[in-house]
Amino acid sequence: MYYKHHVFFCVNRRESGEICCAHRGSEAMQLYAKDRIKSMRRAGPGGVRINKAGCLDRCELGPCVVVYPEAVWYTYVDEKDIDEIIDSHLVHGRVVERLLLP
Amino acid sequence: MYYKHHVFFCVNRRESGEICCAHRGSEAMQLYAKDRIKSMRRAGPGGVRINKAGCLDRCELGPCVVVYPEAVWYTYVDEKDIDEIIDSHLVHGRVVERLLLP
């Protein structure tokens, strides 16, 4: 396993004005998560990688993020949600039930 | 498991002229794979999703692609390699040893 947790934020932007993750702040949240993981010294091989991704095709439930290899899908609203995903799931391996996608 | 195989192509482009996956044709190969999976009617929930991703941070071994949840990393040169990853791994679950990243 190259990364223990490989996290993909949808940062897709639809120009037509349709619902998309980018319109709901996903780019800023991806950067926030990436910077926080780096500051916690958990970034890199054997640790965590926070990636941008194109459309994950679950737009109506977004903004969305998926954590592999465990294939856990979350939504989020703000930095507080991102912090909980990091502190609970990425650090301690405990899934954040309240943010799970249905 | 929302997608049986979730495939992420690094399509990162470094503007500085450094080695990157985009300079080695990753955008065209991602589209090729996405179209082929669609034409095979294997796209979507329960099937395969072919995604773009930002830098996967294994640039020196690229162009690279990772298949989750199995966390199998490949490199590739052309459509023939992509076809082999699709036909062997994504359809039959057989890893393509010759294209594995070390």
Nearest CA in chain A to B1: A71
Please judge whether A71 and B68 are an interchain contact, meaning their C-beta atoms are less than 8 angstroms apart: yes
Is the pLDDT at A21 greater than 80, yes or no?
A: no
pTM of the entire predicted model: 0.95
ipTM of the assembly? Answer: 0.93
Q: Of A78-92, B12-26, B67-81, which gets the smallest average pLDDT?
A: B12-26
d(CA B23, CA A69): 28
pLDDT tens-digit map of B37-81? 999 999 999 999 999 999 999 988 889 999 999 999 999 999 999
pLDDT value at A15 more than 80: no
Residue type, B102: P
Region class of B44: left (phi > 0), else alpha (psi between -120 and 50), else beta:
left
Q: Could you say which of A8, A11, A71 has the minimum Cβ distance to residue B69? A: A71
Q: What is the pLDDT of residue B86?
A: 98
Pairing state of beta strands A5-10 and A48-53? Answer: parallel
Judge whether residue A48 has pLDDT over 80.
Answer: yes
DSSP state of B9: E
What tokens appear for A3 in the block?
């990364």
pLDDT greater than 80 at residue B92: yes
CB-based contact, B6 to chain A, within 8 Å: yes
Residue B40's pLDDT is what?
98
pLDDT over 90 (residue A62): no
Alpha helices in chain B (DSSP H): 26-39, 79-84, 91-92
Nearest to A2 among B3, B6, B71 (CB): B71
Residue A89 near residue A50 (C-beta atoms within 8 A) = no
pLDDT confidence of B11, banded at 50, 70, 90?
A: very high
User: What is the per-residue pLDDT for B24?
Assistant: 81
pLDDT of A38 > 80? The answer is yes
Residue B51 has its nearest CB partner, among A6, A49, A53, at A53
Confidence check: pLDDT of B21 > 80: no
Of B81, A70, B102, B25, nearest in space to B90 by CA: B81
Tokens of residue A41, six digits: 């010294």
Residues 27-46, chain B: which have Cβ within 8 Å of A? 44
- Spell out the residues 6+ positions from residue A88 whose beta carbon is closer than 8 angstroms to its own: A94, A95, A96
Q: Are the beta carbons of A35 and A76 closer than 8 angstroms?
A: no
